[in-house]
C-alpha cells in the first residue's frame, strides 16, 4: 500500500494509473476504522482497479463544543487494517493540503442540509460537502463509496454531484451492525460498558416501528410510540418516518420509507435508520 501525504504526489501517481485506463474508487473516512469501513473498501475494490482510502478528520463539519479534539484517532491500527485488505493507496493529507486557501463557512448544500441532523448541527453538512468536493477535485475518482448509516449525508453528496455535474458515480453500502444490532460507528468507542449494553435498544426500537408500519398501523401513532419508548433510555434529538428518496413527508403513494433517528447516550451521539419498502401502495 502506497501512503501519500501531499496532493501533488498523489495526483502524479493517479495520473499514471488513469493513463493506463485504470478506474479509481475513493473511500473518504475520518479514520477510527472498523469493519463497516472495510465493507466500503470491499465495494470499492469490486468497482475499480485502484482504491484510494483517505483519512482526514475534517474540522469544518464539527461545531463548537463537538468532539473534534477527542474524535478517535489510531493511525497505526487504521493502516494495519487497510494493509490486510490490500488497499492500493492511503491518503493522509494535512489541513493545509485540503484547504490551501482556507475554509468556507457558507458552503451551501440546500434545504436537505437544514433538517434532521442539520437542524442540530447547523454547519455539519456544509463542512461535509466542502471536504468531499475537495477530495473529488484531488482524486478525480470514477467512483466514491459511502455507508448508508449516514443516510442524510449520502443523499446530500448525491445531490452535490448532480448539481455540480461531477463525473463520479456515488455508490453505497448497507449499514453494518454489531451482533446486537447496533450500527457500527467510530463513536461507539466513546460508550461506557453500561451504555454500550443499552445502546442496542436504539436499533431494536426502530425495528419494532418498522414492523408496526408493515402491519398496517398508522405511521403517526407508530412514530409517537417509538419516540416515547426511545425517550425512556435516551435523549432523543429526532425520530422521523419519511420518504426515503428525498427525506420529505410521506404521501399516500410513498413506497420507499425511512425511519431515521439521532439520540444521545451519555456524551455520545448516535444515528441510525431503517429503509424499507411499504407494500400495497
**Torsion of the alpha carbons at 132, 135, 137 and 142, rounded to the nearest 10:** -90
37 counts as catalytic:
yes
Question: How crowded is residue 257: how many other Cβ atoms within 10 Å of its Cβ?
Answer: 22
State the catalytic residue, choosing from 34, 37, 124, 190: 37
Q: What is the DSSP code string of 153-175?
A: HHHHHHHHHHHTT-S-EEEEEPP
Strand order across the beta sheet in which 24-29 lies: 2-4, 89-91, 50-55, 24-29, 143-147, 169-173
Torsional sign, CA 148, 150, 156, 162: negative
Angle between helices 219-233 and 193-214 (to 10 degrees): 170
C-alpha cell at position 79:
493502516
List the grid coordinates of 47: 468497482
| Cβ contact 139:24 at 8 Å | yes
CA distances from 83 to 87, 90, 220, 268 (A): 6, 10, 48, 30
Sequence-distant (6+) residues with CB within 8 A of 56 are 28, 30, 91, 92, 93, 98, 131, 135
DSSP state of 247: S
Which positions are catalytic? Answer: 37
Amino acid at each position: 500500500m502506497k501512503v501519500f501525504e501531499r496532493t501533488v504526489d498523489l495526483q502524479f501517481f493517479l495520473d499514471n494509473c488513469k493513463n493506463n485506463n485504470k478506474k479509481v474508487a475513493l473511500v473518504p473516512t475520518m479514520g477510527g476504522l472498523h469493519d463497516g469501513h472495510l465493507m466500503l473498501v470491499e465495494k470499492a475494490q469490486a468497482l475499480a482497479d485502484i482504491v484510494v482510502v483517505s483519512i482526514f478528520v475534517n474540522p469544518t463539519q464539527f461545531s463548537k463544543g463537538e468532539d473534534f479534539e477527542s474524535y478517535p484517532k489510531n493511525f497505526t491500527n487504521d493502516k494495519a487494517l487497510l494493509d490486510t485488505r490490500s488497499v492500493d493507496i492511503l491518503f493522509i493529507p494535512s489541513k493545509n493540503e485540503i484547504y490551501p486557501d482556507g475554509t468556507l463557512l457558507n458552503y451551501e448544500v440546500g434545504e436537505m442540509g437544514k433538517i434532521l441532523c442539520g437542524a442540530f448541527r447547523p454547519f455539519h453538512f456544509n463542512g461535509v460537502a466542502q471536504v468531499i468536493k475537495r477530495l473529488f477535485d484531488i482524486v478525480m475518482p470514477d467512483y466514491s463509496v459511502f455507508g448508508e448509516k449516514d443516510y442524510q449525508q449520502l443523499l446530500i453528496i448525491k445531490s452535490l454531484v448532480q448539481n455540480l455535474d461531477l463525473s463520479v458515480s456515488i455508490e453505497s453500502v448497507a449499514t453494518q451492525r454489531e451482533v446486537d444490532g447496533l450500527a457500527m460507528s467510530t463513536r461507539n468507542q466513546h460508550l461506557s460498558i453500561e451504555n454500550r449494553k443499552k445502546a442496542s435498544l436504539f436499533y431494536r426500537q426502530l425495528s419494532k416501528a418498522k414492523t408496526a408500519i408493515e402491519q398496517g398501523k398508522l405511521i403517526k401513532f407508530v412514530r409517537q410510540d417509538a419516540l416515547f419508548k426511545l425517550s425512556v433510555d435516551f435523549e432523543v434529538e429526532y425520530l422521523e418516518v419519511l420518504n426515503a428518496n428525498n427525506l420529505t413527508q410521506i404521501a399516500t403513494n410513498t413506497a420507499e420509507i425511512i425511519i431515521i433517528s439521532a439520540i444521545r447516550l451519555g456524551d455520545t451521539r448516535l444515528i441510525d435508520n431503517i429503509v424499507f419498502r411499504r407494500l400495497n401502495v
